[in-house]
Structure 1
Amino acid sequence: MSNEAPVTVHSRVNRGLAISCWVLTAALGASIALSSESRGAVAALILVAWLAYAIHMLLWAPSMRVGGEGVQVRNPFRSVDVPWEALIHVSTKLSLTLHTPGRRWPVWCAPQAGALLARRAARRQRDDRDPESPLDVGVPVGDLRGTESGDAAALVRERWAAHGTDGDAEAATVTVAVRWPRIGLLVLGPLLASVVPLLV
């Protein structure tokens, strides 16, 4: 079993996108609030707060923690704890995905790179000894080192191999928790924006 310290993974791309979305949302909200009467301003402020929360939940907060016991996936609407014993396969199509018997668990914080980022990552991996692009020799886009899905997949596979793959995957327990408070807040925002201004 590996004694390495746990590693937490976030999406750099998604977090950069989150910051851009927050800036745009704040600017839009300020513009609407300043050009509206009081009820419109209240509705705009509520919607801005709701959008800021949605951006946090969907882009900033998702993470994956790889530790001694397995992988903890924190997606927007649910969290999943996958012990090493339950893991049977790791894939990277569209995003890093952990496979357990009969189920698969996508990891929001490790999306597959787009074509431009994939080509850049492939160029960085070429050297004088092996001038061929990894993409030309059949390396899947999602497995390219230097991309979010590729680096995350490599981390999971290395820790999984260090732990050992012995055990009964069918008998291992994968813990899933639905994040109901987050879902409730996401649903509540537009409702508040439509009702609260009527009370002002």
Structure 2
Amino acid sequence: MPFQEVFYRPVFSRILAAVTIGVCAIGVIAMVWQDAESAVRYAWLLALIAVVAWAMFWRPSLRVQEHGITVVNVFRTHFVAWPAIEAIETKYSLTLRTAHGVVRAWASPAPGRQRTYGLARKDFDGVGQSARGEHESLRPSDALSTPGGNLAQVIRGHWERMSAAGLFASGVDPEASVTTWHWTTIAVIAGLAAATIVGLLV
């Protein structure tokens, strides 16, 4: 069976980002229209809020690929090769424990208490053995009826099948997993923050 790639980015976060950016854009336009001089001083704050909203809520994503998993977070992108994964958890967010450290997916936080209230045994049917703790225990966030739990099981399922097939026998390639910093994003946020401070103080 050919591998089917999975791409995940939460819809609610994208809506939140779009609304925030839209409101900031309207605010800047209104400033320029009413008082261009004030806009030069105060529009930086709205621009900063818009960029932060994009970085925090629009950009983060998770892609399950044939050769590994790409996790795009606010300031870093991680590519984790399958052999490097040691455990998949969902306690606070979908988390990959790897041979090189811990990678948490900003795009997939653990569900809130309201979302997990009323879960039944059937919500956990099919959860992989690697998710189970002592005495076969499972976390509410492992439920397949939650977005994070379902996504975690997609990853666990492929990882467990590869492990059972002996595809990890050759060990972990230390250069297969890569972390890339979003220097442009960091620089833009830092620049807008500095401009905001100057605008407010001058």
- Range into which the TM-score falls when normalised by the shorter chain: 0.7 to 0.9
**TM-score when normalising by structure 1:** 0.78
Measured after TM superposition, the shift of residue 101 of structure 1 is: 2.1
How many residues are paired up? 188
For residues 48-127 of structure 1, what are the structure 2 equivalents within 5 Å?
48-101=46-99, 103-119=101-117, 122=120, 125=123
Matching residue of 1:188: 191
1:179 to 171, 179, 182: 182
Aligned identity (percent) is 25
Letter in 2 for 1:157: R
Structure 2: tracts of 5 or more residues without a match: 125-135
Gap change, CA 1:122 and 1:21, over 3 Å in 2: farther
- C-alpha RMSD of matched pairs (Å): 3.3
Kept in 2, the 8 Å contact 1:88–1:99? The answer is: yes
Superimposed CA distance per residue, residues 87-133 of structure 1 (whole angstroms, 9 cap, x where no aligned partner): 1100011100001125110011110000111226659849xxxxxxx
- 8 Å contact from structure 1 (residues 95, 106) kept in 2: yes
Is 1:22 the counterpart of 2:25? The answer is no
Q: Report deviation, 1:168.
A: 1.6
Change in CA separation of 1:40 and 1:122 when aligned onto 2, cut-off 3 Å = farther
Structure 1 residues 114 and 39: alpha-carbon distance in aligned structure 2, compared to 1, 3 A threshold: same
C-alpha separation in 2, matches of 1:122 and 1:48: 44
Structure 1 unmatched runs, 5+: 127-136
Amino acid corresponding to residue 81 of structure 1 in structure 2? F
**Superposed, which structure 2 residues align to 1:158-177 within 5 Å?**
158-164=157-163, 165-169=168-172, 171=174, 173-177=176-180
CA distance in 2 between partners of 1:141 and 1:75 (Å): 24
Question: Per the alignment, do residues 12 and 123 of structure 1 end up closer, same or farther by CA in structure 2, a change over 3 Å counting?
Answer: farther
1:156 aligns to 2:155 (yes or no): yes
Q: 1:86, 1:172 within 8 Å by CA — same for their partners in 2?
A: no
Tell me: CA distance 1:31–1:119, structure 2 relative to 1, closer, same or farther (3 Å). Answer: farther
> Scaled by the length of structure 2, what TM-score is found?
0.77
Letter in 2 for 1:144: A
Superposed displacement of residue 20, structure 1: 4.1
1:148 maps to a residue whose letter is: P
After superposition, what is the alpha-carbon deviation per residue over 1:148-171, rounded to whole angstroms, capped at 9, x for unaligned?
221220111122123334442475
